[in-house]
A and B are shown apart, each in its own frame.
Chain A
Amino acid sequence: MQELSKTTIDSGQRSRRGSSLWHDAMRYLFRQRSAILGMAILGTMLFLAIFAPFIATHSPTLSMLDNPEEVALGIKRRTPPCIHLLGCPEEQPQHLMGLDSNVRDLFSRVIFGSRYSLYIGFASVGFAIVIGSLLGATGGYLGGQVDNVIMRVMDVLLAFPSLLLAIAIVTVLGPGLVNALLAIGIVSIPHYARVMRASVLSIKERDFVTADRALGVSQSRILFHRILPNAITPLIVQGTLGIATAILDAAALSFLGLGAQPPTPEWGTMLGAERNQVFTAPHLVFFPGVAIMLVVLSFNLLGDGLRDALDPRLNR
């Protein structure tokens, strides 16, 4: 009898623990093949970014012309990839992705590029989420004129195609990596403000908020301790998908010469610098582009997976 009651309690606890939103969401997330693929790619990218100095075979900014061994072998710029395992003659130096126009090892540059891409993605979206959700939450919570003004400003920002607005902002601030990610952050603020406002509007009418108000809890405490934590789910989904867009936009800015400046091994910058070689040395354009695509794909897959996992309305 005692045994029985113990097991009942145990299973009761387990089911309570098992039914939290996050636990369910994570379990569901790990059941989706596409989300797992996304996490795997992202994990690999993070690994490459963190251990770039150990994985890269050469320095990302060093010209092979400064390397006497390679010069002795008669290396040329824009040499296509040479992999000994795949039948490239042993006497030729091995360069997994070939050499670029400045005789630098493309593989090492692509590996180091993962650092910039992830940094841009997280930093610009982080900035946009903080500012956007503050604006959205303030507007949604206070309502009235404040809300009106904030949302009309957001509407105006949304009326410009985001890449064009980002180009204009970078031109005002001056080209550079930091300014590019600031510009991308600014143009994505309205998306987060809207998501946050919508969540706050629905949550502030709920009973537990009314109860807090009746108890005389301060406005800021209600906003930051009651409403924000409950409104965070849609922000996570939007943020993950937003990182994908941010990385694409940053690459576009760099491609146009407005983002990271050479010799920074940033993928968009590399593509922009070598774009005229596409007909003669396509590998210079191919590899950085594939790298951008993979990292963006990983965030898109993960974002989609999170959206399905965190949506309580979907019955599974």
Chain B
Amino acid sequence: MTSYIIRRLLLAIPVLLGILFVTFAMARMLPGDPCRAVLGEHATDQICDAFMERHGLNKPIPTQFAIYLNEVAHGDFGDSLRFQRPVTELLSERLPVTVELGLNALVLAVIVGIPLGIVSAYWRNSAVDVGTMLLANTGVSMPVFWLGLMLAYTFAVLLKDTPFWLPPSGGMSSGMHLPPLYEAWNIAVVEGEGWYNVWAFLSNINTLNALVTGSWPELWDAIKHLILPSVALGSIPMAIIARMTRSSLLEVLGLDYVRTARAKGLRENVVVLRHALRNAMLPVVTVVGLQLGTLLGGAVLTETIFGLTGVGRTLYDSITSRDYVVVQVFTLVIAVGFVVVNLIVDLSYAFLNPRIRFD
């Protein structure tokens, strides 16, 4: 197992280097002049020269790359050109929104998708199975942004004045406010220093903040705002997980050891849930991990529709407004996160399936 982990970690190194290079190159390849994109069309050449000088954008590309690598190695990611603030600070504000949304969507997808898959595998070809699979197939075929708009219309307009009304946009209602955790707990934190960004990150996960500080009205409000975007974002992964669980469980249910378990006289739910499901979960774990990419891509669209300022939305805005620094760092964080999750999935797969470890 150890050698497998080491081999897998070593394989990730060239990929990470490649990601560093690609994020850097991508940010430089964006067409247009960063200076005029940030300072406006009317900036004079003189002002622009000073701007390029200050941000090191007039140096040769290899030098810029070396500077970038050095800065990344020191954890210094620079300031956003557009917001004139450290990118790390921006990240601690926006990443929590996406993480909260993504986790909710994924949890929803798993707790609905897996049982649906089990039910339709067990009652194969029944009306339940056909119905579920039709629903799942429709689920993977729906554009996230369309589903989001339709959900917003249904729950905010059609169900207005009913108890099922849900807010169509934003993270919390206006007037609701959650103080940062360090303020709520009277912990001395200096802005921009030490653990500040970590505290800010945790504080900005609204539901977590409200839960640990016991602010129940705010918690309910935050949850209500999360429901629609999570359902919209979670629908595709949910459908994929349901289909994967079904096909994987069907395969396992046909195996000899399941028949043996039945022949022993075990109860049906023990056979399916304890014996068959465990082995059927292997491919499902991989699929769940792979959904992260879908979730992040979908986050751009979901955040756009539901008026949330998360990583996806910020990245899209930064690409269109040529904010190199934000594009570079945000894509880097996303890509590294993606690689790390894939690594964890691979390792968990090896952990769950001994045959892989000894290959």
Q: Write the residues of chain A forming the contact surface with B, with a CB cutoff of 8 angstroms.
A: 34, 152-153, 155-156, 159-164, 167-168, 171-172, 174, 244, 248, 251-252, 255-256, 268, 271, 275, 278-279, 282, 285-286, 288-289, 292-294, 296-297, 300-301, 304
Contact = CB atoms under 8 A, between A and B. Distances in A.
B294 A296 contact: no
B31 A164 contact: no
Contacts of A152: 14-15, 18
B170 to A, nearest CB: 15
A161 B320 contact: no
A293 B18 contact: no
B201 interface: no
A171 B320 contact: yes
B300 A167 contact: yes
Contacts of A286: 150
Given A164-B300, A255-B301, A297-B137, A268 B153 contact: no
Closest 7 CB pairs of A and B: A163-B297, A289-B146, A156-B18, A297-B141, A296-B141, A161-B293, A161-B296
Nearest to A169: B26
Contacts of A251: 143
Interface of B: 14-15, 18-19, 22, 26, 29-31, 133, 137-138, 140-147, 149-150, 152-153, 156-157, 168, 292-294, 296-298, 300-301, 304-305, 312, 315-316, 319-320, 327, 331, 334-335, 338-339
A289 B15 CA distance: 37
B92 to A, nearest CB: 20
17 contacts: A156-B19, A160-B334, A171-B319, A248-B141, A255-B145, A256-B301, A256-B304, A256-B316, A279-B156, A279-B157, A282-B157, A285-B149, A288-B146, A289-B143, A289-B149, A289-B150, A294-B141
Given A172-B26, A271-B145, A296-B141, A161 B316 contact: no
A251 B141 CA distance: 12
A302 B297 CA distance: 25
A205 to B, nearest CB: 18
* Interface SS of B by simple majority: helix
Given A34-B133, A174-B31, A288-B146, 5 more contacts: A156-B18, A160-B335, A256-B304, A279-B152, A296-B141
A172 B29 contact: yes
Contacts of B156: 279
Contacts of A256: 300-301, 304, 316
A162 B338 CA distance: 11
A248 B139 CA distance: 12
A241 to B, nearest CB: 10
Nearest to B290: A158
Contacts of A248: 141, 143
Contacts of A288: 146
Residue picked from B137, B141, B304, B312, most chain A C-beta under 10 Å:
B141
Contacts of A282: 150, 153, 157
Contacts of B327: 168
A275 B305 CA distance: 8
B186 to A, nearest CB: 40
A97 to B, nearest CB: 15
A164 B157 contact: no
A278 B312 CA distance: 22
Nearest to A315: B254
Contacts of A159: 15, 18-19, 335, 338-339
B143 A300 contact: no
Nearest to A296: B141
A301 B293 contact: no
A301 B141 CA distance: 10
A171 B297 contact: no
Nearest to A148: B14
A244 B149 contact: no
